[in-house]
Structure 1
């Protein structure tokens, strides 16, 4: 059995925290430039704004890490209950259903949404999941494709439900960008921080 050592978990935690902070800071500054929002009165206001961005990104990274470890437990249980092939099919179906729910149900069934932003978000998550799955397969083996795709789609969509209910596109971008960055980093890093099984 493979286990994460405390030292490696500590490394994963802090590096994911930094990635969340950096990606949230970048997303916040881009949104600020695009929307032309806050007019800063001085350097102190700008530094405070940057501090808020970094702190928010760190909170999102912690949330992403909770989702990641929840996925690891779910994957462990799924492999215990089902055969490996059946569990992979289940993950693939759930990933597709999550994408369809995000794009079609909220877009065409929900009258409160125009649909463009959800479609863009769904396509963005899909493309990111495909790219991350490709790099995961290149680093490990072909069997890692479906679990990675499932994590990057279904788990990411579940993690974004709270911000999606707000219905503000800027808030969605500000949360989803660091969330995807943290999730991609964690799943791509996992095989490197697992302790090899002793012979």
Structure 2
């Protein structure tokens, strides 16, 4: 991957994060918009739009930082655990899914039903599974577990600041933007940096000779 492709990859992910943050805010923070629509206040409305775009850009940078950290962690895991690395990733995924239910529920002191936290964890796992299947179909079957690891474990780690905020508005804004950016990065990387089938090309040259 050359520097031009890398910058293009970064900018597209950045813009996608800004757009995702803005679009999500229309649903999550609709009351804030309605306050400036009736009566109509143009300057305040523009300021609100810029704020949520900026917030999406920040979340996008967090996503990209986590994505490149994931690439390093994946290589490091392969070097340390070798053939056991997929098993380690599955165990970490199970641990994180459990934590997504247990710790937020404990933080609410039982005021919120555990069902909602189970639903949240299942939604993230289900979406991650769906994206990982696409990644595996477009590349190879061995890419499924690392892709699921990114979509569940890395995304959850990136989401920790959002989980620590009061209320659910900004937590929802953050998780949607992170999932959108991580999905784009995961499903785009192999397109802009395709692997070269050395053996196949060698055989083709041999046949031509």
Query: Could you tell me the TM-score, scaled by structure 1's length?
Result: 0.89
Q: Using the alignment, how far apart are the partners of 2:124 and 2:178 within structure 1? A: 11
Q: Using the alignment, how far apart are the partners of 2:52 and 2:107 within structure 1? A: 34
Task: Find the counterpart in structure 1 of residue 204 from structure 2.
Answer: none
Task: Find the counterpart in structure 1 of residue 96 from structure 2.
Answer: 98
Q: Please report the RMSD computed on the Cα atoms of aligned residues, expressed in angstroms.
A: 1.9
Task: Find the counterpart in structure 2 of residue 169 from structure 1.
Answer: 168
What is the total number of aligned residue pairs between the two structures? 193
Task: Find the counterpart in structure 1 of residue 146 from structure 2.
Answer: 147
Q: Does 1:37 align with 2:36?
A: no
2:164 match: secondary structure: helix
Task: Find the counterpart in structure 1 of residue 75 from structure 2.
Answer: 76
Q: Using the alignment, how far apart are the partners of 1:67 and 1:91 within structure 2? A: 16
Q: Does 1:7 align with 2:18?
A: no
Q: Using the alignment, how far apart are the partners of 2:27 and 2:88 within structure 1? A: 38
Q: Which has the larger radius of gyration?
A: 2
Comparing 105-114 and 139-148, the one that deviates more: 105-114
For residues 99-127 of structure 1, the C-alpha deviation after alignment (integer angstroms, 9 at most, x for no partner) is 11111233257626624543332122111
2:109 match: secondary structure: coil
1:111 match: secondary structure: coil
Task: Return the offset for 1:197.
Answer: 4.5
Gaps of 5+ in 1: none
For residues 148-178 of structure 1, the C-alpha deviation after alignment (integer angstroms, 9 at most, x for no partner) is 0011001111111111112421111011110
Task: Return the offset for 1:32.
Answer: 2.7
Aligned with 2:105 (options 90, 103, 107): 107
Task: Return the offset for 1:147.
Answer: 0.2
1:166 match: secondary structure: coil
Query: Could you tell me the TM-score, scaled by structure 2's length?
Result: 0.85
| Shift >4 Å, 4+ stretches | none
Equivalent pair of 1:103/1:122 in contact (CA under 8 Å): yes
1:64 match: secondary structure: helix
Q: Does 1:18 align with 2:15?
A: yes
Task: Find the counterpart in structure 2 of residue 134 from structure 1.
Answer: 133
Task: Find the counterpart in structure 2 of residue 28 from structure 1.
Answer: 25
Per chain length, whose mean CA-contact separation is higher, i.e. which structure has more relative contact order (CA < 8 Å, sep 6+)? 1
For residues 165-193 of structure 1, the C-alpha deviation after alignment (integer angstroms, 9 at most, x for no partner) is 12421111011110110011111111112
